[in-house]
Chains A and B, each alone.
Chain A
Amino acid sequence: MTSSTLLPGTDTQLVVAEDLLDLLRTTTTELRPDEQLEALTLAVAADLPVLLWGEPGIGKTAALTQLAASLNLPLKTVIASVHEPTDFSGLPIVGDDPTVQGVPMAPPQWAVELVRAGKGLLFLDELSTATPAVQAALLRVVLERRVGALQLPPGVRIVAAANPRASAADGWELSPPLANRFVHLYWVHDREVVVRGLGGIWPRAELPRLVPERLAEAVAYARRAVCGFLEARPTLIHRLPSTETRRGGAWPSPRSWEAALTLLAFGTAASASREVLALLVRGAVGDGPGLELLAHLDRMELPDPESLLADPASAELPERGDLRQAALEAVVAAVGARPRRARWEAAWAVLVRALETGAPDLLVAPATALAALRRDDWEVPEALDRLAGVIGLVRLADQSVGRVAAAADAGRTTGAPR
Chain B
Amino acid sequence: MEKLLAARLHAVKVRPYLAGALFALHVVEDRSVPTMAVDAHWRCYVSSGFVARTPVEELAGVWVHEVSHLLRDHHGRGERYAREYGERGPGERLRRNIAADFEINDDIYGDGLPLPAGAVLPSLLRLPDGLLMEEYLRRASMSGLAAEVAWLDCGSGADGQHRSWELGPDGAHGLSKQQRDAVRFRVAEGIKGRPGDAPEGWRRWADEAFHPSQPWRQLLGAAVRSAVSASGPGEDHSYRRPSRRSAAVPGVLLPSLRRTPPRVCVVIDTSRSVSDAELGSALLEVAAISRSVGGRRDLVSVISCDAAAGVAVPLCRAESIELVGGGGTDLRSGFARALRSRPRPDVIVALTDGQTPWPSAQPSCRTVVGLFPRPASAADEQNPEYAPDAPPPWARVVTIG
CB pair A394–B9 under 8 Å, yes or no, is: yes
B320 within 8 A of A: no
B316 within 8 A of A: no
CB pair A397–B6 under 8 Å, yes or no, is: yes
A165-B218, A321-B26 known; A132+B230 contact, CB < 8 A: yes
B178: A residues at CB distance < 8 A: 274-275, 278, 294
B226 within 8 A of A: yes
Task: Give the residue of B114, B222, B249, B397 whose beta carbon is less than 8 angstroms from that of A94.
Answer: B249
CB pair B7–A133 under 8 Å, yes or no, is: no
Distance between Cα atoms of A111 and B250 in the complex (Å): 24
Interface bin, chain B: 35 or more
B19: A residues at CB distance < 8 A: 322
CB pair B10–A400 under 8 Å, yes or no, is: yes
A389 within 8 A of B: yes
CB pair A291–B249 under 8 Å, yes or no, is: no
> In the complex, which residues 241-271 of chain B have their Cβ closer than 8 Å to any Cβ of chain A?
245, 248-252, 254, 257
> In the complex, which residues 391-418 of chain A have their Cβ closer than 8 Å to any Cβ of chain B?
392-394, 396-401, 403-405, 407-408, 418
B127 within 8 A of A: no
- Of B30-38, B169-177, B378-386, the stretch lying at the interface with chain A is B169-177
Task: Give the residue of A86, A287, A394, A396 whose beta carbon is less than 8 angstroms from that of B245.
Answer: A86
Instruction: Please give me the residue from chain A that is nearest to B256 by CB atom.
Output: A84
CB pair A325–B9 under 8 Å, yes or no, is: no
CB pair B2–A393 under 8 Å, yes or no, is: yes
Distance between Cα atoms of A136 and B232 in the complex (Å): 13
A288-B210, A294-B182 known; A401+B257 contact, CB < 8 A: no
Which of A287, A394, A404 neighbours the largest number of chain B CB atoms within 10 Å of its CB? A404
CB pair A132–B229 under 8 Å, yes or no, is: yes
CB pair B10–A322 under 8 Å, yes or no, is: no
Task: Give the residue of A295, A401, A403 whose beta carbon is less than 8 angstroms from that of B13.
Answer: A401
CB pair B398–A325 under 8 Å, yes or no, is: no
A271 within 8 A of B: no
B69 within 8 A of A: no
1/0 per residue B171-205: CB within 8 Å of A?
Answer: 00101111101110110010000000000000000
A154: B residues at CB distance < 8 A: none
CB pair B5–A360 under 8 Å, yes or no, is: yes
Instruction: Please give me the residue from chain B that is nearest to A295 by CB atom.
Output: B182
Distance between Cα atoms of A393 and B13 in the complex (Å): 13
Instruction: Please give me the residue from chain A that is nearest to B214 by CB atom.
Output: A245
Distance between Cα atoms of A331 and B229 in the complex (Å): 57
B231: A residues at CB distance < 8 A: 132-133, 136
Instruction: Please give me the residue from chain A that is nearest to B3 by CB atom.
Output: A396
A91: B residues at CB distance < 8 A: 245, 248-249
CB pair B185–A244 under 8 Å, yes or no, is: no
B342 within 8 A of A: no
CB pair B9–A322 under 8 Å, yes or no, is: no
Give chain B nearest CB distance to A396 CB in angstroms. Answer: 4
B8 within 8 A of A: yes
A278: B residues at CB distance < 8 A: 178, 181
A98 within 8 A of B: yes
- Of B53-61, B134-142, B332-340, the stretch lying at the interface with chain A is B53-61
B254: A residues at CB distance < 8 A: 92
A400-B6, A400-B60 known; A244+B229 contact, CB < 8 A: no
CB pair A322–B219 under 8 Å, yes or no, is: no
Give chain B nearest CB distance to A350 CB in angstroms. Answer: 17
CB pair A321–B10 under 8 Å, yes or no, is: no
A288-B185, A397-B56 known; A321+B24 contact, CB < 8 A: yes
Which of B27, B181, B250 neighbours the largest number of chain A CB atoms within 10 Å of its CB? B181
A91-B245, A94-B252 known; A291+B2 contact, CB < 8 A: no
| 10 more A-B residue pairs beyond the given contacts A172-B225, A244-B214, A291-B181, with a C-beta to C-beta distance below 8 A | A85-B257, A132-B231, A133-B257, A136-B231, A165-B222, A166-B214, A166-B218, A172-B229, A278-B181, A320-B173
User: CB within 8 Å of B: which residues of A?
Assistant: 84-86, 91-94, 98, 103, 131-133, 136, 165-166, 170, 172-173, 243-247, 274-275, 278, 287-288, 291-292, 294-295, 298, 319-322, 324-325, 359-362, 364, 389, 392-394, 396-401, 403-405, 407-408, 418
Interchain Cβ contacts under 8 Å between A and B, 27 examples: A86-B245, A91-B245, A91-B248, A94-B251, A98-B251, A133-B257, A172-B222, A173-B222, A173-B225, A244-B223, A245-B211, A245-B213, A245-B219, A275-B176, A278-B178, A288-B185, A291-B182, A292-B189, A294-B178, A322-B21, A389-B2, A393-B9, A394-B9, A397-B7, A400-B7, A404-B57, A408-B112
User: CB within 8 Å of A: which residues of B?
Assistant: 2-3, 5-10, 12-14, 19-21, 23-27, 55-57, 60, 110, 112-114, 173, 175-179, 181-183, 185-186, 189, 210-211, 213-215, 218-219, 222-223, 225-226, 229-231, 235, 245, 248-252, 254, 257, 292-293, 396-399
The 7 closest A-B pairs by CB, nearest first: A396-B6, A397-B9, A321-B23, A400-B56, A361-B5, A278-B178, A322-B24
